[in-house]
Amino acid sequence: MAGSLTLLLFCGFTAPKPPRRDAAPRTTTVRPNIIVFLVDDMGWQDTSVPFWKQMTDLNRRYHTPNMERLAKEGVKFTNAYATPLCTPTRTSLMTGLNVAHHRVTNWTSPNKDTSTDYPDTVLNQVAWNVNGLSPVAGVDRTIHATTLPALLSQQNYYTIHAGKAHFGSAGTPGSDPKNLGFRVNIAGSEIGHPASYLGEDNYDRPVNGKHNRNAVPGLETYHGTDVFLTEALTREALKALDVPVRNKQPFFLYLAHYAVHTPIMADKRFIDKYLKAGLDSTEAKYASLVEGMDKSLGDILAYLDAQKLTDNTVVMFMSDNGGLSTTPARGGKAHTQNLPLRVGKGSVYEGGIREPMLVRWPGVVKAGSVTDQYVIVEDFFPTILEIAGIQKPAIRQSVDGRTFLPLLKNPALRDTSRALVWHHPNRWIAAEAPLVSWASALRQGDWKLVYDHRTGALELYNLRNDIGEQQNLAGQQPQKLKSLAALLTNQLKRWDAQMPTFKKTGQPVRWPEDALIQPKQ
């Protein structure tokens, strides 16, 4: 079984038609610059760019003209995925590993050796990698891996980290982006969200006279000004780009905004129109965070234009997990913030994992193209290495991601046999919401299997007809259910994925396929 699975996972794309001429790869000796523009907690619908087959109310709510520009000039991925949470996604992006494989299955605490799992009455915690990613061996409870920026640095890319890092806990090497291969680090540390977005607050919010645990480091220039955090990061990132641009050195800019994560604070430059539109107060603030982020994207694109770098720079837009859908911190009705998708951040339902992804690469990517092929965040790792022309890199880990460079060249390529896997053997938060805790999932073709660790329930959805995962077809499609459960089981076993144990019995949660044949616990 493992053999055939490997085959499924590693088989290539099938090309329904030959690549179009205008999407053919360029032959150039100049290595392209690469920008990964990563947003935090941005949902699939938090944009005026429609990623679904129809324009939604949420698309009409948000104003992201620069994302619209990027979509117009590049390719839109309608089925791009991350993991349900931030550190797991970021670790996958930096290592090419699936979450079940790297075992950073929950967000990492800024404090070392601290599990962020919320206590549960049914299941025991697993010994996941609570300290995150490590570039060196011997650090307790980390995944030791070769990182993307380290590989790029070795090949003379000028690597810049700007914004939220959140790769590892304080006191471990992974907490500092410079230890992960970034030459420059702007405002990145072990923290997972800012204490404040306001320069007036120094991006801090002291507690009992001490700096907030989540005070954003390193932006002292903007302290006491009215410069919003998103803007400060952008300005510093552009300043940092001047060095490689001047030296004609290829660069890798990883601009990972703190926006649009909580605290949901108004970006005063943009909030008025949302309030006037009658939006819920918190949702208006959220929309202003989104538009502030989009303005940053616009500034980056304008910089590339001004520097005549547009043609030789790959710009990749991505978010790290689904939009937050718990209230508070969000406004409105809980779990409606990602409609038509179900639930949001933390969940293995589509609302928690489907992302707005765009890639522009003039001359390679056809302007205004769309691909419906599903991809996942660990795919960025091999793709970027390939774009950078790095041959046979020395990588200690066995990479799970697959290059989507062929898709950039031909968005019509299809592979419906590939299986994507999500694994979250953790309890994220106190609130109970559909599959925001203790869950695994798999997608193959249009089919989606979700597995609830606590109840042993397996659900089956056909995403083509039912993107909202409302019609559980497990009863109607027992053969499909069985085959996907076997596929998920085999993949999890292959990665030696961690399964929680029941408090009552001490027994581990069964593998998905076993949940089918045995009575439910």
In whole angstroms, give the CA distance from residue 85 to residue 104. 10
Here the tokens at position 219 are 């932006």
Q: What are the phi and psi torsion angles at 335 (to 5°)?
A: 65, 25
Residue 262 makes contact with a second copy by CB under 8 A:
no
Of 61-69, 252-260, 330-338, 382-390, the window that binds a second copy (rule: CB under 8 A) is: 330-338
User: What distances in angstroms separate CA 431 from CA 40, 106, 266, one per listed residue?
Assistant: 21, 16, 25
Of 154-162, 271-279, 400-408, 503-511, the window that binds a second copy (rule: CB under 8 A) is: 271-279
Residue 269 makes contact with a second copy by CB under 8 A:
no
Kindly provide the residue ranges of all beta strands, DSSP E only, lying in 113-217, ordered along the sequence: 133-134, 143-144, 158-163, 184-186
Residue 291 makes contact with a second copy by CB under 8 A:
no
Which residue in 27, 29, 54, 208 binds a second copy (CB under 8 A)?
Answer: 208
Residue 20 makes contact with a second copy by CB under 8 A:
no
Pick 150 or 271: Cβ nearer a second copy? 271
- Before 260, cis peptide (omega within 30)? yes
Collapse the DSSP code of 132 into the 3-class scheme (helix H, G, I; strand E, B; otherwise coil) and give the result.
strand
In whole angstroms, give the CA distance from residue 190 to residue 176. 7
Residue 325 makes contact with a second copy by CB under 8 A:
no
In whole angstroms, give the CA distance from residue 376 to residue 50. 19
Here the tokens at position 274 are 């949302």
Q: Where are the alpha helices (DSSP H) in 267-392?
A: 271-276, 281-306, 350-353, 380-387
Pick 69 or 205: Cβ nearer a second copy? 205
Which residue in 331, 362, 393, 508 binds a second copy (CB under 8 A)?
Answer: 331
Residue 218 makes contact with a second copy by CB under 8 A:
no
Residue 333 makes contact with a second copy by CB under 8 A:
yes
Pick 334 or 473: Cβ nearer a second copy? 334
Residue 202 makes contact with a second copy by CB under 8 A:
yes
Pick 102 or 285: Cβ nearer a second copy? 285
Cα first-last separation, the chain: 26
Of 56-64, 277-285, 366-374, 490-498, the window that binds a second copy (rule: CB under 8 A) is: 277-285
**Please, what's the b/e burial string for 322-341 (b: 16 or more CB within 10 A of its CB; e: otherwise)?**
bbbbbbeebbeeebebbbbb
Residue 200 makes contact with a second copy by CB under 8 A:
yes
Residue 15 makes contact with a second copy by CB under 8 A:
no
- Which residues 84-123 are close enough to bind a second copy by CB under 8 A? none
Q: Minimal distance in Å, beta carbon 468 to a second copy?
A: 21
- Which residues 223-252 are close enough to bind a second copy by CB under 8 A? 223-224
Residue 431 makes contact with a second copy by CB under 8 A:
no
Residue 7 burial (CB count, 10 A): 10
Which residue in 120, 280, 299, 386 binds a second copy (CB under 8 A)?
Answer: 280
Q: Minimal distance in Å, beta carbon 100 to a second copy?
A: 35
If you count them, how many residues does the chain have? Answer: 521
Which residue in 46, 73, 190, 283 binds a second copy (CB under 8 A)?
Answer: 283
In whole angstroms, give the CA distance from residue 343 to residue 351. 5
Q: Minimal distance in Å, beta carbon 264 to a second copy?
A: 9
Q: Minimal distance in Å, beta carbon 60 to a second copy?
A: 19
Amino acid (one-letter) located at 352: G
Residue 209 makes contact with a second copy by CB under 8 A:
yes
Of 196-204, 308-316, 361-369, 388-396, the window that binds a second copy (rule: CB under 8 A) is: 196-204
Which residue in 52, 59, 154, 205 binds a second copy (CB under 8 A)?
Answer: 205
**Please, what's the b/e burial string for 252-279 (b: 16 or more CB within 10 A of its CB; e: otherwise)?**
bbbbbbbbbbbbbbbbeebbeebbeeeb
Residue 18 burial (CB count, 10 A): 8
Which residue in 155, 327, 462, 521 binds a second copy (CB under 8 A)?
Answer: 327
Q: Minimal distance in Å, beta carbon 320 to a second copy?
A: 24
Here the tokens at position 60 are 């009409």
Contact footprint for a second copy (CB under 8 A): 200-202, 204-209, 223-224, 266, 271, 275, 278, 280-283, 327-328, 331-333
